[in-house]
A = this chain, B = another copy of it.
Amino acid sequence: MSDLDAIDRKILGHLQADGRITMQELAGKVGLSVSPCHRRVKLLEERGVITRYIASVDQKALGLHVSVFISIKLARQKEEDLKRFEKAISAWPEVLECYLMTGNRDYLLRVVAADLSSYEAFLKTKLTRLDGIASIESSFALSQVKYSIALPV
């Protein structure tokens, strides 16, 4: 699966920091010439190690001032209950992250909204309308201290 050598990991490190670095510059940084560097990047893309390239956008500039972590407990934990819940939240753009947690097997969601009233609208028109939810607990973030998508390589 992941037989990534040292050069692959270097490449991934640089691409996580700058997804638009030129092949020439990237090749220089990892000590290869352009062609083999290019081939490695293409292989990493094909193997699904690099999943995609993204522009990162400032949350405040979009007017999204509210970040909420929501703990959700389901009434039943049968496979089909989980699947139905996961399918629903996956379709909502306000939900940026969702994790199935150990312990009580509940879900942890990170949701963004413009303000408290649009968060309330999200709760009322979407989340609380789902069947099979036993409890919802919202925790609000005062500020985002760190946000990185660069995994340690």
Q: Are A141 and B108 in contact (CB under 8 A)?
A: yes
Question: Once bound together, how far apart are the Cα atoms of A61 and B148, in whole Å?
Answer: 18
**Nearest-Cβ distance from residue A127 to partner chain B, whole angstroms:** 14
For residue A6, CB closer than 8 A to chain B, the reply is: no
Asked whether B86 lies within 8 Å of A145 as measured between CB atoms, the reply is yes
Cβ of A119 within 8 Å of any chain B Cβ, yes or no, is no
Which stretch from A30-38, A91-99, A128-136 is at the chain B interface? A91-99
Interchain CB contact under 8 A, A151 and B20: no
Q: Does A47 contact B (CB under 8 A)?
A: yes
A103 touches B139 (CB 8 A): yes
* A63 CB contact (under 8 Å) in B2, B18, B96: B2
